[in-house]
Amino acid sequence: MANYEELAKSVIEGQKDQVLDQVKSLIAAGNNPLEIVNEGLIAGMNVVGVRFKAGEMYVPEVLMAAKSMSGGLELVKPLISAADQKSKGKILLGTVKGDLHDIGKNLVGMLIESGGLEVINMGVDVPTEDFIDAIIEHEPDIVALSALLTTTMPAMQDVIEMLEDEDLRGKVKVIIGGAPVSQEYADTIGADGYAPDAGSAVELCKRLLASK
């Protein structure tokens, strides 16, 4: 029988097939899908983050871990997304220009979806003007921007400034997140909100939707 600790270990080792088998067995055993994500998949990826930072893991290994985690997430996703629930709000989500990190963003998207909101995921390295075009096309309630690099954080400010230039700022709330981002930075660039993790991102979206 798989357990969360073993699942986290398989993520760290980048053993995708093992991760898939373990997630399937945890689901079959009736474990809570959110717990599988938080205590297995994310727990493993957190260790990867620490080891990568310490120079104990290298990019190819990190990518293998990331792919394993994403594979596991895909299996759990249908169980926690309330697809048949009527959407209570529309969220446009993307990683800003120059930034290829998407694990945390996808997790945020997945949990927001599971909270009954509609998510349009634009992917990674999204040019500022593409966000603006998509906001015009889809008219989301909230645009959620992710950045994992200090060098790409300013692209979040670019989106807000372009929204102001296009007279769209009043039409959409902007929230930001990602490891280097903070509430202080959100205040500095005039974003409507910041959340440190996927769980609080859902609460933040619901709070902003309620105040609309």
Q: Give the binding site for ligand B12 (CB under 6 A).
A: 42, 45, 48-49, 52-53, 59, 62-63, 66, 98-105, 107-108, 144-146, 148-151, 175-180, 195, 197-198, 201
CA 32 – CA 35 distance, rounded (Å): 5
Cβ closer to ligand B12: 66 or 80? 66
Cβ closer to ligand B12: 28 or 76? 76
Cβ closer to ligand B12: 53 or 212? 53
Strand partners, 95: 146
- Minimum separation from the CB atom of position 106 to ligand B12 (A): 8
- Minimum separation from the CB atom of position 182 to ligand B12 (A): 11
CA 13 – CA 70 distance, rounded (Å): 14
- Specify whether the CB–CB gap between 96 and 185 falls below 8 A: no
Q: What single-letter DSSP state applies at residue 121?
A: E
- Minimum separation from the CB atom of position 186 to ligand B12 (A): 9
What string of DSSP letters covers 14-38?
T-HHHHHHHHHHHHHTT--HHHIII
Cβ closer to ligand B12: 31 or 99? 99
Strand partners, 142: 91, 173
- Minimum separation from the CB atom of position 120 to ligand B12 (A): 13
Secondary structure of residue 142 in the 3-state scheme: strand
Secondary structure of residue 84 in the 3-state scheme: coil
- Minimum separation from the CB atom of position 82 to ligand B12 (A): 19
Residues constituting the chain: 212
Cβ closer to ligand B12: 30 or 59? 59
